[in-house]
Structure 1
């Protein structure tokens, strides 16, 4: 079987992205595992190599040669002038290059030239200033691709995935947005993504919304009226789904390896647990889209940008996840 083909983009140039990618490319086994296409301005990759004090070879191809690329190759773009890169600053120029590199990588994936995309951290404020015009990059990507199916951010730590029923909304609005249909969609997304990553019959736990899973209605009826019926509906389809489990203990089950995924009701319910369990290994996956897109689950880290202090752990985990998903996707076709 041919190796998966992965496009990598540098993220916001003001942050640690270019440094992280330079370190990734020098990790043992990375170049042997995939054909890698660096998509972005040559000076950004060179800057990353300088920041990491590591070599990065730029085998620059023409656009016409991209469909046949092998090994480590580079597609040069001209999205930002070198003197417009301001380390540790939010800039429109940084947001613009982030969006343009992402757009190009998605174009390559749609054309079948790459199987997956790895992006170094973006800065949402910079992207918004540059015209993101969406709640986050995940909705931006779906809109750009014309994808109308269900999609949502998935957080991954080693072999554990979390999906969520609500995401970037205020906590006061969460309960009103919990529905049986929403829970079932989040369960299905977890199951389908785990299968794409190699799990044959994933075990999924649904977290409760209220303290003590509502304590038989004492602290709210969402578990009785919404969550339990949703779990039963999934079980009726022969899915390995249990819950609702109290959210202050469900991640103990996950840590013991008893489940492959936890479906949470709101953003921080899962994020706090995942980041405490392994902040330096966390990955964010664009769940549900036609091809895998992943990034380390941390930000641009302006406080250490340009100082050769960036930890490669989460970026390597994102790359490894893409390899698994892209390889299975290739095999399926």
Structure 2
């Protein structure tokens, strides 16, 4: 059974080509792990120029372990801007990765940062890449974007939806599924007995219904349902204090109710190094938690930390009980 990882640069107009090249340099120097690079020689050459690295495309590749799977249409040359061609290139790369997985040639995927506007200009109809993957791969249970820092993980009951829709989507079942998903992922990553906590939705956890009743009617029942399965999970707690207990190591994972509830905390305390995991699918799919950084394209200053962490998390999950 293969343990190879597929790598794509994501949006070619952003810092993805630079990050992909830097990752390949590290892999050539440090490992003999198998990877399939879904790109083109032109994109890799642009990444080399962006990174300012003294090598050529062949110097990034290794016939034994690092092979290039070329996208079969011209690489879009526009850099640092939104565009349909960039979105199509990014989607084509992801589609090739899924085809390689279907053929049994890769076991996981790491993709560079994407621009959702470019993806939609290219014809993507789903709200985000998570749902795009779900529609092509299917899922046996709940799917969610999970965010990973060096300290703790977060899952989301809701994600890329309008804030006005969140309360209606928070149900006992959705809370339960988000907690179970986070528990399974932490176990797969090597945490034998994950300790989980669940965020409230309303200020002060609703103050027993004074500021909203979702904690009473949906979140606490969902926590109880998850705990009945043997998961170590408690809550709901006010989120303005709960994250301190995540960062100090009290909890391994926190279930959040909506996108920014967890993202603000993680990106404030641990922006450099964060990873987003597209969870609940048939293979591990990881990406750096930052964006395309159009403003620094070509400056050679993109940080490798999140991309490196995304690769090593995918590698760990491929080796674990995914």
Provide TM-score, normalisation by structure 1.
0.91
Secondary structure of 2:26 counterpart: coil
1:73 aligns with 2:72: no
The 1:39/1:31 distance shift into structure 2, 3 A limit, reads: farther
Look up the match of 2:318.
326
Question: 1:159, CA displacement in angstroms?
Answer: 4.5
Look up the match of 1:64.
none
Question: 1:219, CA displacement in angstroms?
Answer: 1.5
Q: Superposed, which structure 2 residues align to 1:286-305 within 5 Å?
A: 286-305=278-297
Residues 41 and 79 in structure 1, CA contact (< 8 A), matched pair in contact too: no
Look up the match of 1:228.
220
Question: What is the root-mean-square deviation of aligned Cα atoms in Å?
Answer: 2.1
Question: 1:57, CA displacement in angstroms?
Answer: 4.3
Look up the match of 1:65.
none
Residues 19 and 308 in structure 1, CA contact (< 8 A), matched pair in contact too: yes
Secondary structure of 1:306 counterpart: coil
Question: 1:112, CA displacement in angstroms?
Answer: 1.5
Pairing partner for 1:113 from 87, 97, 105: 105
Stretch deviating more after TM superposition (310-319 or 142-151): 142-151
Residues 10 and 114 in structure 2, CA contact (< 8 A), matched pair in contact too: yes
Look up the match of 2:16.
17
1:187 aligns with 2:187: no
Deviations 1:283-306 (A, max 9, x none): 111000111011001111000011
Look up the match of 1:316.
308
Detail structure 1 runs of 4+ shifted over 4 Å in the superposition: 28-31
Residues 189 and 288 in structure 1, CA contact (< 8 A), matched pair in contact too: yes
Look up the match of 2:36.
37
1:203 aligns with 2:195: yes
Question: 1:33, CA displacement in angstroms?
Answer: 5.7
Measured in 1, the distance between the counterparts of 2:29 and 2:314 equals 12
Measured in 1, the distance between the counterparts of 2:272 and 2:73 equals 30
Look up the match of 2:167.
175
Stretch deviating more after TM superposition (34-43 or 143-152): 143-152
Look up the match of 2:153.
161
Measured in 1, the distance between the counterparts of 2:123 and 2:176 equals 33
The 1:273/1:37 distance shift into structure 2, 3 A limit, reads: same
Residues 160 and 261 in structure 1, CA contact (< 8 A), matched pair in contact too: yes
Look up the match of 2:136.
144
Question: 1:144, CA displacement in angstroms?
Answer: 1.6
The 1:152/1:79 distance shift into structure 2, 3 A limit, reads: farther
Look up the match of 1:6.
5
Structure 1: 5+ residue stretches without partners: 62-68
Question: 1:30, CA displacement in angstroms?
Answer: 6.8
Question: 1:56, CA displacement in angstroms?
Answer: 5.5
Residues 34 and 323 in structure 1, CA contact (< 8 A), matched pair in contact too: no
Residues 31 and 71 in structure 1, CA contact (< 8 A), matched pair in contact too: no
Measured in 1, the distance between the counterparts of 2:48 and 2:59 equals 14
Q: Number of paired residues? A: 320
